[in-house]
Structure 1
Amino acid sequence: MDKRLFYLLNSARQRVYKYADQKAEESLGISVTQLGALMLIATNEGCLLKDLAHSLNLNNSALTGLAARMEHNGLIERRACEQDGRASRLYLTLLGRSKIDSARPLISQLNAAMTEGFNEQEVQVILRFLNRLLNEF
């Protein structure tokens, strides 16, 4: 068994992301990054572009391109911020909301595939480990 934790974590993240991205493209017609953005906007409707960039760990230029593609595809709407005319606030369109609803079975399938073969106690340890990494680093 390979015990190189950092290597395993990085490789697993890349493989899971690639798999999830392929499944999202096939079933929803959007990338997993776009789906993540939609879900974040749904929980904070009217969020600023820079806040979404921070939440997705993307630089501002990468998020600007992502937002432009999402707006072009009818998933989101950008509106000027009333407090700062240079800033944009993001809102979901009906199509964007429907993509989130359509994604719920896919997310359940992905979670089930990742936890297959583990009992509930083992899953709780994995969750505790991953949450610790998110909070400590």
Structure 2
Amino acid sequence: MDQSVPEKKPRASTLGEIGLQQFAPYLMNRIMGRYNASLREDLKKQGLTVPKVRALAVLSVAGGVTVNDLAVYTVIEQSTMSRTLDALEAQGLVRREACEDDSRVRKVFLTDDGRAEFARAWPAMHEEFEKMFAGIDEAEYSALIVTLQKMLRNIRKHEI
């Protein structure tokens, strides 16, 4: 029985060789663009935007997050996150508190109204999630999640 490791085939090196339909970053951006576009109308009815609901989503599972970390977790530019938090705070959906050990750093928390608002937004988000993964079985979904987590770790290794 041959125990040799199969030779790894080199990936194409130009976008022309790869093609858009095989270029994962392009596909990921298209998927998220469509997902966000599908949500916009439902969220608009609630007075929410995609950045607002992303912030509410992260805060619903990880309260007490710094503004910088929230910008990273939501994949929103710092300046947009600051404006988004100003609007959410004005709506009474979040509150910001200075950190005990460093008063220059502020942590963000959901208010009870914010938690309720996210609960109203979640069904539309979940429905779009289900549509996105229609016809994809558990094994395929699990493999995708493992792959995406590996990719995220690879990217984190290169962060400054």
Closer, same or farther: CA 120–50 of 1 in aligned 2, 3 Å:
closer
User: Superposition pairs for residues 1-137 of structure 1, below 5 Å?
Assistant: 2-26=21-45, 28-137=46-155
Do the aligned partners of 2:38 and 2:128 also contact (CA within 8 Å) in 1?
no
Gaps of 5+ in 1: none
Rounded to whole Å, the distance in 1 between the matches of 2:25 and 2:105 is: 37
State how far apart, in whole Å, the 1-side matches of 2:90 and 2:100 are.
23
Deviates more, 1:64-73 or 1:3-12: 3-12
How many Å apart are 1:104 and its aligned residue?
2.9
More deviation in 65-74 or 7-16? 7-16
Decide which moves more: 60-69 or 115-124.
Answer: 115-124
TM-score relative to the length of structure 2: 0.70
Specify which structure has the higher proportion of helix. Answer: 1
Deviations 1:34-67 (A, max 9, x none): 1221122233322221221222233332221111
Larger radius of gyration: 2
Letter in 2 for 1:10: N
Aligned length: 136
> 2 CA distance for matches of 1:100 and 1:81?
25
Other structure's SS at 2:71 match:
helix
CA distance in structure 2 between the aligned counterparts of 1:59 and 1:105, rounded to whole angstroms: 26
- The 1:110/1:89 distance shift into structure 2, 3 A limit, reads same
* CA deviation string 1:88-135 (max 9, x = no partner): 221212210101222332232112101113333333333333333333
Q: Secondary structure at the match of 1:111?
A: helix
- Paired AA for residue 31 in structure 2: A
Residue by residue over 1:1-39, the C-alpha shift from the partner in whole angstroms, topping out at 9 and shown as x without a partner, is x4343332322222222222333223x331222122112
CA contact (8 A) 1:25 1:32 kept: no
Q: Taking structure 1 as reference, are residues 135 and 21 closer, same or farther at Cα in structure 2, changes over 3 Å only?
A: farther
Residues 79 and 31 of structure 1, relative CA distance in 2, 3 Å threshold:
same
